[in-house]
Amino acid sequence: MSNIVAVVGRPNVGKSTFFNRLIKRREAIVDAVSGVTRDRHYGKTDWNGKEFSLIDTGGYVVGSDDVFEAEIDKQVELAIDEADAIIFMVDVETGVTGMDEDVANLLRRVDKPVFLVVNKVDNNKRAEDAVEFYSLGLGDYFTIASINGSGTGDLLDAVVAALPEKEEVEEDELPRFAVVGRPNAGKSSFINALIGEERYIVTDIAGTTRDSIDTKYNRFGFEFNLVDTAGIRRKAKVKDDLEFYSVMRSVRAIEHCDVCLVVLDATRGFDGQVQNIFWLAERNRKGIVILVNKWDLVEKDTKTAKEFEQHIRQEIAPFTDVPIIFMSVLNKQRIYKAIETAVEVYKNRTKRIKTSVLNETMLSIIEHQPPPAYKGKFVKIKYVMQLPTPQPQFAFFCNLPQYVKDPYKRFLENKLRDHFDFTGVPVSVYMRKK
C-alpha cells in the first residue's frame, strides 16, 4: 500500500506547479493513458524506487480570501490526519505571511515528517532572502524552484527517506470490493443492508465512520471482502463536507481493492466529487460499478432513469462500458443486484483469453480495418497477446508502433469489449515493436 504525501500551503505559492512537475515526470514514462489529467490533484509518483501518492491540496480551495483561511486550516488538519508526510510550501517572493504562520502553528504540533519548502528560489539573492522562514519554527528548510525543478531532487531524497515502511499486510486471497463515494451517499447503510446487522452506526451527520472496515461476505456462492471506506469522520472532526477529504480517504481504499462500488446520492447527481472518485478508480485500473442510491426519492416518469444514465455516460466518456444500477438501500431495492454485478465485473477483470482465440478474432478485424497509413507508411499488426497483469492489458505487435494513434487504439479496445465482455473494467492497449 503506498504512502500518501500531502502538499499544503496558502494559495499561489506554486503547489500545483510542483505537483504537476512530479506527476508528469512519471506519467510520461509510466502510463500514457489518455484522459489522465482529468483530476489534477491526485497522482502517483516514485523516487529512488519508492512509490507514493501525492495530493495537492491547492486544487481544493474554493471561495474568497476570507474563506481561504478556514479552508486551508481544514485541509492542513485533514492532511495531518491522513498523510504519512507533509510538504509545507511557502513563497520567497512574498516572505512570511500571517497565513503561513497559521499553517506553521498547526504543523509544529504534528508527529509526522514535515518538510518546509521555500519555492521560487532561482538565484543567490533569493536564497539569502529565504533565511527569514526560520522564524516559522519548523527548523531547516529546502529551497526549490518548481518552475524549472531545481532543488526538488534533494527534497524528494529527504521525503522518501522519511516515509514509514508500510508493513506488507497479510493478504487473504479474497477479492476486495470497496464501497466509495461522498459522505452521506448511503455507503454504510448499503453494507448494513447486505450484512443484515447494524455493524456500522448510521446517522445523518456526515462523520460517523472513522476507518475503512472489512467485512467478509458470501453470496451467489462467491466469497469476498467488503470494504467500507468511511468517506466520513468522527463527530469531533465534522466540518463542512470537503471534496479533498473524500478523495483522500478514497485513495487508500481504491488503491487496495479489486472492484469499486461508487455510490452516489440520486438527489445530488453525478457531481464533481463523485467524478473525482470515479476517475481515481479508473486511473488505478480497478473494476467499477456505479450505484445510484436513494432512487426512491427522485420524482420519476418513464424516461427519468434513461436520461440520468445517459448523463452519467456522457461524463465518463470515453470509458462508458460501466454498469449503472439504480437502487434504494432504504427499500432494499436492487441491493443484491449491485453485488451480483460487482462479482461479474471482478470476473471480467481477472479474465484470461487464450492467445489463439485472441489472434483469430482480432487479426481478422484488423485485416478488414487496418490502422490508417501515416506519412505514407503502412502499419502491419502481426500478433496479439494478453499481458500477465492483474487487469486486462493487451500488446499488439507491429512494425511501426509509433504510428498507431489513440483513435485506433480505442477502436481496438472497443472490439475487445464487443467480443470478450470487459464491462466495468478499464482495458489497456499497447503497441509493441515486433
Which amino acids are annotated as binding site for GTP, given as ranges? 9-16, 56-60, 119-122, 181-188, 228-232, 293-296
User: To 10 degrees, what angle do helices 272-283 and 304-316 make?
Assistant: 50
Asked if residue 188 lies in contact with residue 210, where contact means CB atoms within 8 angstroms, the answer is: no
C-alpha torsion angle, residues 326, 332, 334, 338 (rounded to 10): 90
Q: Centre a 10 Å sphere on the Cβ of residue 267 and count the other Cβ atoms it contains.
A: 10
Strands (E), 17-172: 42-47, 50-56, 85-91, 114-119, 141-143
Hey, what's the cell of 354?
Answer: 487464450
SS3 376: coil
Distance CA 360, CA 355 (A): 9
Report DSSP state, residue 150. B
Nearest to 108 by CA among 83, 84, 80: 80
Could you list the residues known to form a binding site, using ranges.
9-16, 56-60, 119-122, 181-188, 228-232, 293-296
Q: Centre a 10 Å sphere on the Cβ of residue 319 and count the other Cβ atoms it contains.
A: 18
C-alpha torsion angle, residues 18, 38, 392, 221 (rounded to 10): 110
Hey, what's the cell of 193?
Answer: 443492508
Spatial strand order of the sheet with 393-398 comes to 381-386, 393-398, 428-433
Distance CA 41, CA 75 (A): 13
